[in-house]
Amino acid sequence: MKRFKSAGQAQRFLSVHDQVANLFRRSANITAAAHRASRTQAFRVWAEVTGVASV
């Protein structure tokens, strides 16, 4: 709970952080090309969810 004002604030942050982190997490045993494709897809989904224009 370091640097959080309350346990509730920490829980709200961690709840959202876990969902976002899962989007960008990848397997350890993939090729560089597969990693790039996965990362591109993750950023595409992130842009769609947040409403930011994709690059």
29-40 pLDDT, tens digit per residue, is 889 998 899 889
Q: How would residue 1 be classed by pLDDT, with cut points 50, 70 and 90?
A: low
Classify residue 36: in a domain, yes or no: yes
Is residue 34 situated within a structural domain?
yes
Instruction: Say what percent of the chain tops pLDDT 70.
Output: 93
Instruction: Tell me: pLDDT of 15 over 70.
Output: yes
How many domains does the chain divide into?
1
Residue 40 lies in a domain: yes
Q: Is 2 part of any domain?
A: no
Flag whether 30 is in a domain: yes
pTM over 0.85: no
Q: Give the pLDDT band of residue 14 (cuts 50, 70, 90).
A: confident
**Domain assignment of residue 55, yes or no:** no
Residue span of the structural domain in which 46 resides? 7-50
DSSP 7-51: HHHHHHHHHHHHHHHHHH---SS--HHHHHHHHHHHHHHHHHHHT
